[in-house]
Structure 1
Amino acid sequence: MATISAGGIGSGLDTASIISQLMSIERQPIQALTKQVTSFQSRLSAFGQLKGGLSALQTAAEALSKTEKFSAFKATVADATLFSAAAGTGATAGSYAVEVKYLAQAHKIASAGFASNTTTVNTGTLTIDLGQLTGGTYTADASKTFSITIDSTNNTLEGVRNAINTAKKGVTATIVNDGSASPSRLVITSNDTGTANTIRMSGVAGLDYDPASNTGSMTQKIASQDAQLEVDGIAITRSTNAVSGVIPGVTLNLTKANLGSPTTLTVASDTDTVKKNIEAFVKAYNDLNSMIKTQTAYDANTKTAGALNGDSTVRTVASRMRSVINESVSGLASGSSRLADIGISFQADGSLKLDSTKLDTALSDPTKDVSTIFGNAAGTAGVAADIVTMAKSMLGTGGLLSNRTDGINSTIRRLNDRKDALESRMTRIESRLQAQFTALDTTMSSMNATSQYLTQQLAALSANR
């Protein structure tokens, strides 16, 4: 059964309002703790942004921290319809005349037409070889030879196709409908290009083919062929259209022949990629610097401060970053050892400015060792390498920022524990006040009843005189 409370009936007091006001006073310490928790949560969020910004700067610096990143080359093809080219490790600058005579092709043979996909074929042991065709001589590769049994369970065109594909031995079987009176034709294609993957079939009448004489029940539709090209007049043959090892560090992917019409392949230093990486580094630094300024700012007009205003940890991060950016890399000549020497300098607001013209000049000047200014070379750590080391130290377990956020989280937990304890105390205080005012009501009600009785008795005595 629910309890009906009607505080103040006996006393005439608004006990609910009185208790509410008293509890409001009692809760002031909780409100102060809540304000502190909110402040620390704002700091924690701001430190999260700081860690994110520093991590982004670390990522940008890592792209510049290894000197080999500055040795990148790019390959450019005058006629990109003929082939694409990719330059990697080991590439050197140079220009080459490339003529693609023939593309590599996969061997393809087809059967005569059958009435349908389920038409019965002859039975027997079907042997399929892959091997080298040179001129009129065929040499099977024993490692690529396999046999399948064609019997009453699979002696249809579909059955043969499925048996070949289930074997997964370097060829693929399909059925093509050519629309004729006997439309279904079994097509066998080598999975790999080149003359070393020429197909031979034997053992089952109607499904035989001899590449040496180009005879049999099956007919050749596409001849196996190696890729043939000339690089600066030197003949090259490869079994695939992906050609590597011809030009050091460069891979060609042939797409079209240009017999008799060489095109030019140019391999040059890829300063564009280096410059983009440097631009990304400057942007990451400026983003982090801007975030720090915002979080540590103080507005005298509104008397409001950023979440990290006056925080010594943030000052340490900003100071170390500026110090690294401003450093002179040891072992390099004066005038070629600092970021300012290649066009990256500080502005009045603490941000970095990139002089693109000066950077382009430095990247093309062999006397400006840009790679060492940024990266690690012969045991000397450059600016980007030092930024990476600094960021890892600050962000890692036990690092400056990790310890700071751990400390804030610990403080928030302690404040919340105190709030919980006070909330429990508030419950007890409110219960006590309600009990006290209920007792007051009861007492006042009793006293009022006694007062009314005495008043009635006195009135009666006066009336009887």
Structure 2
Amino acid sequence: MALATQMISGLASGLDWRDIIDQLMRIERRPIDLVENKKSEYEQRLSAWQDLNTRLLSLRSAVDELKDPEDFNLFKATMTSSNTTVTASTLLNATTSSSAAPGTYTITISNLASAQKLSSNPFASITEALGTSYAGDILINGRVIHIYENDSLADIRDRINAANTGSNPTGVTASIVSYGTNNYRLILTNDTTGEEGISLLNASSADLLQLFGWKDS
């Protein structure tokens, strides 16, 4: 004899299976919801830190503009030049202090600095040997210049100019200028304008500086 099979539905059993399943799914999803909530919280914190960092960078930039004491000076010195080819700052410097009063000043430069130039005693020839009395050594800006008895004025000029080369030049250029018949002078010129850059010393027993007699020209 065959037995009949009966299926008990949710309605027949009094249980709401859909609600039970939804609750179970919500329980299973709770860890995911917690992680997403934490993620949202961390993102908000990150955004807050980024905003704070931006504000701090702006504050540092503002402070950097105030760290120079000169920014607090009441007055500043500005210079202009009437010559369009010359910048005023290349000619002079001007500064102010906390007690400075406003005003306009005009400075006239009538002469520009020139290089130091020394002229020797006159010599009758530039090619004849100077003789034994001129044999010896001199120091020009710390470099030794050897002078021999057979040297002429031209030889000494060339030797001085040879010492003004290389990694340690003297900074002094020698030339010979004719002031008339039998009147030649050995001229030493500083290569740097506006400075007394020629140092002359005897480096041997002979007093060559007195013999040459270099003086400002």
Q: Quick check: TM above 0.5?
A: no
More helix by share: 1
Larger Rg: 2
Length-normalised TM-score, structure 2: 0.43
Query: Which fold has the larger relative contact order, with Cα–Cα distance below 8 Å and residues 6 or more apart in sequence?
Result: 1
